[in-house]
Amino acid sequence: MPKGGRKEGRKSRVRQYTSPEEIDAQLQAEKQANAEDEQKESGDGASGDPKKEKSIDSDESEDEDDDYQQKQKGVEGLIDIENPNLVAQTTKKVTQLDLDGPKELSRREQEEIEKQKAKERYMKLHLAGKTEQAKADLSRLAIIRKQQEEAARKKEEGRKAKDDATLSGK
């Protein structure tokens, strides 16, 4: 025994596995038992009324209902809740789609389209010179042109004066 007295834990036990043959045998035994039970029930129904066969089927559906009832907890079984906001999704075939009809745009898309149209209108008015900003721009442009013309005139006068000075100096 190693030092420290190591004990066997629950995981160190030898595990026993069921072989696939044994599992198959168990499943076949269960199937045979179920088949025998069905034969007994159907044997009683064949000699008796067909109503009994219907009652057997209705018992199966009742069992399903019982399972459904058992799954519900608390007041869920008493109150039938229906969500009015829930929209059932229906799938449409390609042939049923209406591609030619008008598209419904979302609020954001509509706002974006309105912004673009307003911008285009503003640019048309701006180019025509009818907006406040266009008028201000045009007046600034006129002032700048006058200043440039004056600067060009002064340059020309300066050149002419230089040319005259050079010609008269020779």
**Does the residue 76 lie in any domain?**
no
Q: Is residue 109 part of a domain?
A: no
Count: domains in the chain = 1
Which residue type does 53 have? E
Query: Does residue 44 lie within any of the structural domains?
Result: no
For the residues of 6-55, what is the DSSP string, one character each? Answer: ----GGGSPP----HHHHHHHHHHHHHHHHHHHHHHHHHHHHS-HHHHHH
In a domain, 108, yes or no: no
**Helix-strand-coil split of the chain, %, nearest 5:** 70, 0, 30
20 backbone dihedrals φ, ψ, rounded to 5°: -60, -30
Backbone angles phi, psi at 90, to 5 degrees: -110, 140
> Is residue 42 situated within a structural domain?
no
**What confidence score (pLDDT) does residue 11 get?**
66
Tell me which range, 80-84, 91-95, 104-108, 165-169, is most confidently predicted by mean pLDDT. 104-108
- Give the model's pLDDT for residue 123: 93
Give me the domain span that covers residue 145. 118-170
Mean pLDDT of the chain: 79
Q: Is residue 131 part of a domain?
A: yes
Q: Give tens-digit pLDDT for 6-64.
A: 666 666 667 778 889 999 999 999 999 998 988 888 775 444 444 444 444 444 555 55
Answer whether residue 21 is part of any domain: no
pLDDT tens digits, 50-80: 444 444 444 455 555 555 555 666 666 676 7
Its pTM surpasses 0.85: no
Q: Please write the tens of the pLDDT for every residue from 136-160.
A: 999 999 999 999 999 999 999 999 9
Residue 166 domain flag: yes
Give 113-130 pLDDT, tens digit per residue.
999 999 999 999 988 888
The separation between CA 56 and the C-alpha centre of its own chain, rounded to angstroms, equals 47
